[in-house]
Each structure stands twice: as C-alpha cells, then as structure tokens.
Chain A
C-alpha cells in the first residue's frame, strides 16, 4: 500500500512538473459545450489557453502554431466554481478543538486575516475541489468585526501561492435584534436573569451605538493619519479598517433576520460604505428594498427551515428567484463554520435547488461563478469563460446542476489539478478489498 501511495504521489508531481513546462504553450480544449456565463452556451466549444489565460472561446478557435489539442469528448465546460464566505481550510474536524482556526476571541478584530491560516493540505479542500470548486472566499468568524477575508485558489504549494486576492472584505456580524419575550423561568432561580423588554431594547440600541463608535473612531484615525502630525501613532487595527471606509472595499455584513437587514442597509447607506449582505435569510421579504439600495446578496439560508409556521415549506428554496426577479444581484453559498466546510462540495446543488424553484437556470449557474467574482471585484480575472480571463475551468460529464453528473477534470490558471481526495483514495482502496 505505501508503495502505491508513493507511486501516486510521484505521478502527481510528474504531472505537475509537466504542466508547468507546458504552461506557457498554447492548448486548445475541444468539448461538447461550454457555459461561459456571458451569452449563450456554446455547442460544441473550443477554448484556446495560453500562459494560463483564456485567449479565445468559441465554437472553433484559431490554432496558433504549436498548439496542442486536448479532446474532451462528451464533456461540458464551466468556469471554476467559487465558494463565497466559508471556513474551508480553517477547520479540519469540527469536533476536535485543536483543528479549529475558525473563530477568534474578542469583539472588534479587524486586523485578523483569514488567508494566512488556511491549511493548504486540508483534506476538506481536496474534497471541495473534487466537485468543481476552484476558489473559496475564506473568512474569519468571532466577535462583531471578525476580520478580513481573502480569495483562495484551492490548489497550490502554500498559502502564498494559493492566495488569489486579499483582502476581499471586512466581515461584520450584525448584532442580534431579537428581544426575548419568553417568560422568566420562575422555576429556575439559578437560571439566567431575563431582562425586561425595555432593558433589552436599551442593550440593543447600545450594541448599534458601539458599532458606530467603532467606525467613528476609525474615521477619526484616518483623518489624523492624513494630517500626519508628529504625535500620530500607528495602530495596526485601525490601519486594517482603512481600506473599507467610505467608498472603499466592501464590508460583508452577516445578517439573517429582517430587522438586522433593514438596519444594516440604513447603516451602510448613512456611512457611505460599500456593503455586501451575507446570510440574508429574510431577504425575500425585503427584495425591493435591497434592489433600491443596490446591495449584492450572498444567500446562505437556502436549506434552512422556515422560521415561522405560516411560511411556505419552500420559502427559502424560492428566495433566490424572488431576489433575482426584483433585480437584486445574488450569489449562493453554504453557511460559515466547520459543518458547512465539510459539505462545501454540494454548492452546485444549492444552485440546482434554486433553479428548480424559480431562479432562471443561467442565473443559478452565475450565482456560483460570475456573481461571486463580481462581488469580490475579481470579475476581470475569474468567474466566466471569456478571452483575457484566467483559464480556470472544469469539464463535467452531464449537467453540472444535476447530482448524477461527474466533474471529470479541472484546470486552474491553465494548469490541470488533481481531483483526487481522501474520499477517492479510500474508495479505491476498499473497492478493491478482496471478497471473502
């Protein structure tokens, strides 16, 4: 067995080296179809790739001298899938504390950066990759401001080569707006003290004020920094907030409930910040408002049960379609945390479920490819199959949005990457267990 594994690894390395050698040479990929995410699907399709970039995409492309042709008969090409905020790489086994790097302690943690702590050899990354995910926005959790996310390429030799773009966003977990109207537990005097509604409302207002104070302070720091007087002192935490202040890079606001979403929209507008809404469970009922604010939505509650009995059983299945029809730009993702990180491979089936429930199919595909790239300001490089973009694509046998389909091959920036994982290795091993 060890020899087999060694052989396999050696072969992989060889393939990799070979890929590097041919990286610069032009290659034409011929497939049954391509779904470029802009315009109609192309059938049949050819991709010309050179120097890690897409040079041309069409029914047939010009073949430069020396171009190698790779035939992908019966396979369909899609851009690599992009997972929006996730804990992938920051967690291996959610039940084992030592393997958790998902959640920092403290309340305001803007200087926490996710990209440097992604474990490149996490088995979870390979498993996600095996179903077509080439990139993931890895984001921190913990506190009110949890830190900054970075876009990670899900293949490479280390965090530096895997970090595709950083920082992408500052992550703000919107304070809970819930008030407890549950009865005080008379039977359990040792239980937590339940505050009156009035006290709770005061606490809630204070949480929002604290948020504003934080950003007021950041803006004051910015002003002092520009003034540059002698007694100015650099503070790493404030420094890391600067790119996200007025007119800058986006703040990803994690909010689920209608009151949170409404409050966050007003807050971002008042402060002139660029905002992306993440989570957005109740977004369906606020679609016109979201459209009016032109705030992109990353919806993670597709498979969450409705929170009210009078909500239709398929309410969250239909929310993406509702958002789309209202004109809200929308991406789909799984929730944050270790559980979802291990289940990330099911990302295309979120899009499939949304498509079955009213989201146009083309838009469903975009919600896991082009839209994420656009939200991250990365659409010039990724998210679609267009000339000039990075040659990151997958070849699928069947319909990507169908569970019965198979992702057969994957290229990231023109280099083919392995779809092997812990799962395929164990499968191969036990498939071949001698029968009794």
Chain B
C-alpha cells in the first residue's frame, strides 16, 4: 500500500507546478491543460503602468502574450473571466526567514558581562573555540557563511497560504540564526518538490549585527564585538586564498587549514563581489556602519531597515544601499490607567508615529526600497500597514515596484519575474476591486508558474478589525525629527567674547577682563579688553562678570556607546572598537554640553585585562558618529587590572578564566605582547602569508607607539608591576585610569611619564578601593604626574568643574591648577593638547562660559562652544525642552485617542508589536550607584 501511495503523492505535488514534458503514467491524475487566457481584467504590467483592460495568455507556465481587449484569443486557451479584477506581476518577498519564530534582531539593551569562556579565544593559537556544531567551521560558532538555505528548504504549506493570500508568489528564504548566517534561496511559494520550487540558490550572503543579549554565548557578546568578528572573518577569508596560493607554490610549507566557512565568504567579497551581502544592522546608526564595513571589505550591501531610520535619514542615504523594508508598526498598549502613559518615552512614541512613514522616508532619500512581510508579529497586518505607508507618502508606483521589480532585480531573477511580459514566468497576483492598495479589495488568487492558487478559505478583505488598528489610517504624523532639536545654535565665522575673566589653563594663567577672538573655529587672539583687531566680527558675546574656561575634557566616559560597554567575554578583546559603536543619539551629549564638557574619551569597560579600542570624541551635538570623532586624536586602547579582570565580583561561577589573580594578569600581558612581537616578526619574514589578526594588530600598534594605553588600575602593587611590564616591552603608558592607590607610587608614575586620570573621591565600593583617598589627585600632582579627574558617570560628566574643585579641598591644589585637572591635563594625557585643553592662539575654540568662578558651586555653565560653534546656550535651553515637551504631549494625545480601551488588552501575541526600546536610547537613564564594578 505504502509503495503504491508515495509515487502518487509525489505526482500530486508535481501537479501544482507546470512540468511540461513527460506524460504522467497511466493511473495517475492527468495533467490539466497548460494554456490559459485571463480575460477582462485591468492588467498592470509594471510599476508606472496605469493598467488597461487586457488579456494575459499563459502557456505552460510562462506568459505567452498580453492581448488588447477584443483581440482574438488562442483557440487552445482555457478562458478565465477576470472582469472586475486587477492583475499584477506576482509579488516577491525578498526576506522570508527560514524559521517561523524568527524576529527582528534584538534592538534592546545588552548586558554583555557574565561570560564563561575559558582561556580559548580567537587569536590564541591551538585554542580554537567551540564550533557549536560538528564538522569543520569557523572559530566563532555564530559565523556560518557556508550554511545554505537551499540545502534544507522544504515548502511550508501554512506559511505559503498566508503569503499567497497577501498576493505573494515568490520569496527569498533567508537564514535566521547567527551573525554571518549563510546564503538565502529564492523559491516559488507553492507546495511542490523542492527541486522545482527553488528558483535560485545562494541569492545573498547574510549578516546580522545581533548580540546574544543576556544569553551567555561567549565571544562576541557586544555589538562592537559582533562588528569586530565580522571584520575578522572577511579578513580570514582573504587570507585563506593567499595561504592556498602559497601552499600550491610551496608544497613543503605548513599546510593551510580546510575551512569551508571562509570559502563560502569569497563570492561576497570584492574586488567584484558576485554575491550581495544583506545586512540586518538593527539600528539607525548601524546602517552606516554596515556601509563602512562593506567599503572596508569590498562587499555589495543591501540593508534591512530597522524602523529606526527616522532618527538619521541622512545615514540611510549615506549607506547608498538598497533597503529591504519591513512594515512593522508598533501597536499601542492598552494601559489600565491614564497615568500609566507617563512611563512611555518620547522616543517610543516617535518610533510608533514614524513607523508607517519609513518606506516613504527612505524613498525620499533616493534609495531603492523593497518591501517584506518580515518582522510583522502577524503577517495579516501587511496590507493595512502598507496602506498606512501609502497614506504617509509612499507612492503606489513605488509600492508596486517594492513588491515586484525591485525585489526581482535585487534577487537577480528579473529575467524571470517582476513584470508581466512575454517570456517571464506566469507569476500573477489577482485582486478583485479597485487596486491592491484599496483595503476593500480582496486578493482572490495568485498564479505561480502558470498554475492558479485560490485562497482556502477565501481571503477576507484586508480591512482590519477595529480593535487592533487606529481609528484612522491616514492621520498626519505629529512626531518631529530629532534633527529639529540639535545642532549648533550659532556658527559665526568670527566671534568675539568680551570682558570675561579668562582661565586660559595655559602660560597666561588667569586674565581678568580679557577678550578672546575666534576665527574659523580657531582661537585667533587673546588679550586685555578691549582687544585690538581689524575688520568686523559676526557675533559678539558680552561676558562681563562671567568666567571663560577651555571646554572641559572627560578622560573616562562610557556615555555614548551603543550596544554594550564591555566585550567582556575574552581576556583580550583588543580587536573591538568603540569607534564602531559611538552613539550620537543619546541625550547625554546635550546634558554634558550643559555642564561645559566639549571632549570625551569614550572607553571600553574594564571586564578584561586587554579591552577594546577607545574613541575620543567632541560633543558636536547633532553630528552622526563619524562627525563626533576627534579627528586629530591618536589611537588608544583600554587595559584593566585588578578585581574586575580577575572576575572577583562576577559571581561564584566565574573562577576558571585565566587570569584569576594579579599574578596571572601580569603573565597575561607578557604573553600577549610576546605574541604581538612574534606576529610582527612573522609578517616581516619570508614565508607563508600571516593570518591578519586584529587583536595582535592593535597590540603591535602599541609596541610601535601608534596606540596609547589607558589602563584601569587600583592597587599600588599592580600599578607598579604594570608600568614595569610595559617598560620591559618599551611601551610608555598614556594614562592610568582611576589609579586609586596611585598616590602611594606617585614618584614612580611621574618617572614613567604616565598620566593619572582619577576619580575625585570615590572609594570603598570594592575591597581594592578601601585605601582610595580624595587627596590622591593632589598628591600625584605634587609629585609631578599629570593628573586629571574624570567622570566615569553620565551624571558626574555634567559637573566636572566641581570635581576639579575637590583637588582644592583635598590637598590644597591652587584653583588655576585644579581647573587643569579637567582641561589641559586630560588633553595632555590623550595627546590632544596641541589642539584643545587651553585657551591659546591657534587652538580649537572649545570654550565654556560660566556665571561664576568655575570651581564655585554657584557656577552655572552659560554657553558651550566647540570649534567656534555655539552648541549650548543656557538662555535657550528651556525653549528646547518646552518644544520637546509639547511634542510629547501631542504624541500622547494622538496615542491615547487611538489606544485600545483598557478592557480589550491585546493578548500575548500582539505584545510583540508594542513599543520597542531602541538601542540608541537604551543606556540613558537610571541610577548607576551600584554599577561601577566593571565600568
């Protein structure tokens, strides 16, 4: 029985697609005829075509002709009356996840501390990491470029039905796990032999900037780690080719590894990539990062929109990549009380209100847009969400293109589908009613390769139920753009600040009643008021009674980092870069400007002995990440010693990763720098090509004096031993950070020439800070070390001038010297003192104007200038918040009017569509009194 059954079943499946050719054996259901005439419909052949009454002739799966109304039909055609219907080219979803549970990558906060990795990490030979799977592969288990959806694909009837009911006929099925995920396969959405339905294997390579969130999956655990991993993998792929070439020429040399993962990456890489790479960046800022990474590695990127593009449309534009756009639109929660709306943030409300406009927004940037059903908690919402996107400015032509020609071209199947023209596959979407974009119209069926599919049960009209959708789909957006609230308030080419008490922090000391002339962003002249000069100034600031200081500099900040401060999974993560994940969107920038801060050293955390590369930024509010970077600042890196790196306070589980003692910390440094020396030597020597190792590259840069160490340190013994160990490798340390017991070895620190970047008065929160004293800064200063006070806190960074005052209180540092703890001294420590840190002719015009002496608790920051541009003005700040507040009120009343009533609280399934917390706003608020342990 079974034997008889299964070929029958097989043929039944086959029946659904055209297979002209062999006659089915007798006894099986005979093939239906393959010639059809679809008569009487309005046929929209391609986007831009208004559609005329025409007849589509289908012959054995392909479009044979498009006849004008009234033309004679082929005599063999089966006639289908299509009057009252519209026929489109079959829709294509370019991003259909392989597993039904797939959701957009996590765009929420990550807490990447708590790894269990042993010593094994990429970069240490012979300690390859758990592959996570049997067989050969990449050293990071979540890098699986060799994975092919085409190898495993089987049609899923239920999902196909849902998609067909929305008008889709084909889709690109994409892998949904990992960071580099593998290749997608283009399929027809019909239940048949996979050999038939797969139109094209290996359509794209897929990359997602996905962090494991709270899950413990080893390296990488942070966003910057994910980016570093992707970067290293592509470098490895290039290396593998070079290594093979060398081995072929030198068969007696060391044999390269077999690594199918790296082979699989080759087609995606330049100089002329044959396989586009689809990135799921997960945030507005990462759109641009994906582009920069693509340029670095010569990839041809396509981006999946995160829905956050409204934050930075210009970065989407700068990505110059086609976008695959989900129509995710957050739903409103049914709060039981009106007061519960207090907890909803402006960001969340904006996200909700902007969502329908994302496709139009991207089109306005001149970008190519394809639409996808991806990321919808319930696919049924696709058409009503699309309607809202149209109401918000997406044109019907663009929408149709985004469903047909654009995805066909992106997927490289444009010769087969995307338009209704002779010779293409007979993939058709048939709608009864005015048009697909009219919610009263119904998708009555699709044709896939010449076979009709009718929805079962018949598709309901797309009109959504009243409860889950807004009362009106077309209401105007009330959310503003963040750009409306940031950017310089004045950009005078020539600026004169008159009559201030000028604390130069330079050789001129404190100048009473002085003028400062600024030209083209630089300090042009300083002198006793009135300062003589030629020509006119564009703006004059009367600073009578006020005090002018250099813009303050924070030598230790974590306030502007996206997706995790620590890549704490490995003992050395020299390959990760804070510069990859600068968060230009955080309100912290404005808050710190309001305290006179102009420059911040944004550091990796202290979870490991060798942390990530830091980034020095200027607080140019409104600039995107690349625009914040302090271009002239030399490269640096975070190191750390003591309790954090030996995991003392990580919990009972963390007792096996090397190092667990201060003894081990030293040994680890010796090991890594020796490895870096050998790496450099191997590169210089003749022989097989050396695998580029981003971790060791960074360490080589340190050895060669091109990258400066900022080392988190506490106890006197570890400080001394660290300095000596670095001296052994000929390395001068830029700064010791925190350096709480530095006062005990101040002479040695001064002699080495390391800067001391300290807390003013923190102590007693860990055992290793029991001997910390607030006089430490003064003592180190008096022994000749260059001392700064840093914030390490988004709160303290708002009032660093008052931290400097503590050097006067504890240890009696003169006021003008104490102010240097937050101006020229951190500039010297960061090697940027040629440009900033003091008010001297030729330096950047980074200035803070105070209502009182800067170290007085009565002093309020009145203005903050960067590069001669006014970024903060106390008199104008209230107006900004009034406007922000008004925007939130408008959004709230709109949301409250549309929110479902308290009783009809949506179920668990709909919860997926509630407000999402964007990565860009994940780290802004909250008390941080107990979170110091690994910062």
Contact = CB atoms under 8 A, between A and B. Distances in A.
A318 B204 CA distance: 55
Contacts of B764: 92-94, 123-124, 338, 341-342
Contacts of A308: 345-346, 888
A399 to B, nearest CB: 9
B546 to A, nearest CB: 15
Contact of A339 (B108, B345, B914, B929): B929
Interface stretch (A185-193, A239-247, A374-382, A408-416): A185-193
A13 interface: no
A307 B590 CA distance: 14
A209 interface: no
A196 B908 contact: yes
Choose among A94, A178, A257, A258 the residue with the greatest number of B CB atoms under 10 Å from its CB: A94
B911 A346 contact: no
Contacts of A423: 763, 773-775, 810
A341 B933 CA distance: 16
Nearest to B105: A187
Given A95-B643, A403-B806, A356 B916 contact: no
A157 interface: no
A407 to B, nearest CB: 10
B335 interface: yes
Contact of B795 (A303, A309, A346): A303
A303 B595 CA distance: 13
A178 B344 CA distance: 10
A96 interface: yes
Interface in B574-618: 587-588, 590-591, 594
Contacts of B770: 93, 123, 422
A357 B851 CA distance: 12
A183 B910 CA distance: 9
Identify whether the interface residues of B are mostly helix, strand, loop, or mixed. Answer: loop
A186 B857 contact: no
Interface in A287-309: 303-309
B261 interface: no
B189 interface: no
A233 interface: no
Interface size class of B (residues with CB under 8 A): 35 or more
A395 to B, nearest CB: 16
B343 A179 contact: yes
B389 to A, nearest CB: 21
A259 B342 contact: yes
A349 B802 contact: yes
A433 B783 CA distance: 10
A179 B795 contact: no
B927 interface: yes
B345 A182 contact: no
Interface stretch (A147-155, A365-373, A424-432): A424-432
B808 interface: yes
B340 A349 contact: no
B279 interface: no
B406 to A, nearest CB: 27
Interface stretch (B115-123, B420-428, B917-925): B917-925
Choose among A182, A262, A345, A404 the residue with the greatest number of B CB atoms under 10 Å from its CB: A404
A194 interface: yes
Contact of B106 (A187, A258, A338): A187
B11 to A, nearest CB: 39
B762 interface: yes
Contacts of A430: 743-744, 746, 779
A306 B925 contact: yes
B747 interface: yes
B747 A435 contact: yes
Contacts of A356: 857-860
Contact of B924 (A305, A335, A426, A431): A305
Nearest to A341: B764
A433 B908 CA distance: 66
B905 A198 contact: yes
Interface string B887-921: 11000000000000000011110011111110001
Choose among A335, A349, A403 the residue with the greatest number of B CB atoms under 10 Å from its CB: A403
B809 A181 contact: no
B747 A343 contact: no
Nearest to B595: A313
Given A309-B347, A356-B860, A197 B809 contact: no
A184 interface: yes
Interface stretch (B304-312, B447-455, B489-497, B877-885): B877-885
Contact of B907 (A196, A341, A345): A196
Given A183-B913, A436-B747, A93 B925 contact: no
Given A94-B930, A181-B915, A345-B761, A310 B885 contact: yes
A157 B106 CA distance: 56
Contacts of A127: 763
Interface size class of A (residues with CB under 8 A): 35 or more
Given A184-B911, A427-B773, A305 B926 contact: yes
A313 B336 contact: no
Nearest to B350: A309
Given A95-B767, A197-B334, A342-B763, A182 B108 contact: yes
A343 B761 contact: yes
A337 interface: yes
Contacts of B881: 310-312
A305 B595 CA distance: 13
B649 interface: yes
A183 B857 contact: no
A338 B931 CA distance: 12
B910 to A, nearest CB: 9
A313 B857 contact: no
Contacts of B916: 182-183
B50 interface: no
B161 interface: no
B333 A313 contact: no
Contacts of B833: none
Contacts of A426: 743, 771, 773, 775
Contact of A427 (B811, B887, B932): B811
A181 B344 contact: yes
Contact of A404 (B747, B805, B884, B925): B805
B340 A305 contact: no
Nearest to A356: B858
B126 interface: no
Nearest to B929: A339
Interface string B617-657: 00000000000000000000000000100001100000000
A337 B765 CA distance: 10
A402 B335 CA distance: 46
Interface in B346-385: 346-347
Contacts of A164: none
Contacts of B409: none
Contacts of B499: none
Contacts of B908: 184, 194, 196
Contacts of A338: 764-765, 930
B765 A313 contact: no
Interface string B775-807: 100010001000000000011001100100110
Top 4 A-B pairs, shortest CB-CB distance = A352-B857, A310-B884, A339-B929, A403-B805
23 contacts: A94-B765, A95-B765, A179-B336, A179-B343, A183-B911, A187-B106, A196-B905, A197-B333, A258-B339, A258-B342, A259-B340, A262-B339, A305-B588, A305-B925, A307-B925, A309-B345, A309-B924, A312-B878, A312-B881, A313-B587, A342-B762, A352-B857, A403-B806
Interface of B: 101, 103, 105-106, 108, 213-215, 333-337, 339-340, 342-347, 587-588, 590-591, 594, 643, 648-649, 743-744, 746-747, 751, 761-767, 770-771, 773-775, 779, 783, 794-795, 798-799, 802, 805-806, 808-811, 815, 855-860, 877-878, 881, 884-885, 887-888, 905-908, 911-917, 921, 924-927, 929-930, 932-933
Given A185-B106, A403-B802, 10 more contacts: A93-B764, A94-B766, A177-B340, A197-B334, A310-B881, A310-B887, A335-B927, A352-B857, A352-B858, A426-B771
